[in-house]
Amino acid sequence: MKIIVKAKTKAKEEKVERVGQPVIDFTNKNLDNKKEGNELVTYKVFVKEAPVAGKANEAIIRALAKYFDTAPSRIKLIAGQTSKQKLFEII
């Protein structure tokens, strides 16, 4: 499952919120019919860490792991290493 994350760093408390309606991802090259795609849900993730040396990304992964009740090793940052908007894959 892929999700879009809007990162909010230096927050007072850590939390994860689902926002908005799912959007369709048409980038899956294995699809025969391009009218179908995967739904991408957007989440706002608030973390206390500052965006320095990847610390915020690590905190986001930990917060998502807790929210989805999975191991942090099952969450991969696909895009947006230095951006506030990121794309994660949860395996």
Instruction: Give the pLDDT confidence of 33-85 residue by residue, as tens digits.
Output: 444 556 788 999 999 999 998 999 999 999 999 999 999 999 999 999 999 99
CA–CA separation, 71 and 48 (whole Å): 20
CATH number (domain holding residue 20): 3.30.1200.10
- pTM (predicted TM-score): 0.81
Q: Tell me what pLDDT residue 37 has.
A: 54
For residue 50, the enclosing domain spans 2-25+39-90
**What is the count of structural domains for the chain?**
1
Is residue 64 a part of any domain in this protein? yes
Is residue 17 a part of any domain in this protein? yes
CA neighbor of 89 nearest in space, from 37, 18, 17, 41 = 41
CA–CA separation, 51 and 4 (whole Å): 18
For residue 8, the Cα-to-chain-centroid distance in whole angstroms is 12
Is residue 31 a part of any domain in this protein? no
Largest CA distance in the chain: 46
